[in-house]
Homo-oligomer: A and B are copies of this chain.
Amino acid sequence: MFQDNLTDLLENVQNGALSITDAVSRLKTLPFEDLGYAKVDHHRSIRNGFPEVIYCEGKTTDQIRGIFLVLMRSENNILATRASSENFAGVRQIAPNAVYYQQARCIVVNPVKKNQDANHYIAVVTAGTSDIPVAEEAAVTAETFGNHVERIYDVGVAGLHRLLAQLDRLRKADVVIVVAGMEGALASVVGGLVEHPVLAVPTSVGYGASLHGIAALLTMLNSCASGISVVNIDNGFGAAYSASLIIKEIMNGCQE
């Protein structure tokens, strides 16, 4: 980004189309819009084709709505995560076609179409039923980013046969997102069974010595299986973002 901008700008300075003062000033007017409480980035979706994402936690509904208003002037495919139903009520007033995914706690406005090749998909796997909300955040995020998703839920290692019955769907995925709380052992077992990148999401599901997800996090970081990398506790969005970057690279690889 810097590189290209600089070259353009320098050419304009050289050919007189741009004064030095203007050039310096423009170098400061970088591509975001300042709302005071937030600096909204207009170029991100141009840069990587992914939607602009609003993280709602800790923001007021008014702030969230303000950011939506700015983005909707120039962007499609806007995603808000960790959105409460109250946040959604506020957003719907200015974006009537906004959709709210309740389990995932996501708002989506003007989504893009999915990529065409359903053979390239992300598998989202959970150990238990209670891990589903985090998994849905991952699945909705990945879908909003244009990906195909296969959901494989409640296949924790205590009943290994449930997991083994899904081996085909797991192994054909380009990337696997494993969402697990309690002891988080599912990531290791999946990591040992597939030969694709595994993104592990510890959840805060559990009690006592699960320490709000720390136990699952440590399990995943210490996995004896290779090919596993880890995101923050309950961070379904983060795993989906990384998975989407991988899929994008694979798709790009095909086209080169």
List chain A positions with a Cβ less than 8 A from chain B: 1-3, 6-7, 10-11, 13-14, 20, 23-24, 27-32, 36-39, 41, 44, 47-48, 53, 57-59, 63, 127-130, 132, 153-162, 164-165, 167-168, 171, 174, 182-185, 188-189, 191-193, 195-197, 199, 202, 204-235, 237-239, 241-242, 245-246, 249-254, 256
Instruction: Let me know if B157 and A188 touch, CB within 8 A.
Output: yes
* Distance between Cα atoms of A159 and B211 in the complex (Å): 28
A161: B residues at CB distance < 8 A: 1-2, 30-32
Nearest Cβ on chain B to A120's Cβ, whole angstroms:
8
Instruction: Let me know if A232 and B221 touch, CB within 8 A.
Output: yes
A6: B residues at CB distance < 8 A: 24, 27
Nearest Cβ on chain B to A1's Cβ, whole angstroms:
7
Taking A2-B164, A202-B208, A229-B230 as known contacts, 11 extra A-B pairs with beta carbons closer than 8 A to each other, sorted by chain A number, are A7-B24, A10-B24, A28-B165, A37-B154, A39-B155, A44-B159, A182-B222, A207-B232, A226-B237, A249-B253, A250-B253
* Distance between Cα atoms of A24 and B9 in the complex (Å): 11
Assuming the A-B contacts A159-B39, A250-B253, are A206 and B222 also in contact, with contact meaning beta carbons closer than 8 angstroms in the complex?
yes
Instruction: Let me know if A160 and B182 touch, CB within 8 A.
Output: no
The 8 nearest A-B residue pairs measured at CB: A208-B233, A58-B130, A185-B185, A229-B229, A253-B253, A215-B218, A158-B225, A250-B253
A–B Cβ pairs within 8 angstroms, 19 of them:
A1-B161, A2-B167, A10-B23, A10-B24, A13-B13, A32-B161, A32-B162, A37-B129, A41-B162, A53-B226, A182-B223, A185-B223, A197-B245, A207-B235, A208-B217, A208-B235, A215-B221, A228-B231, A230-B231
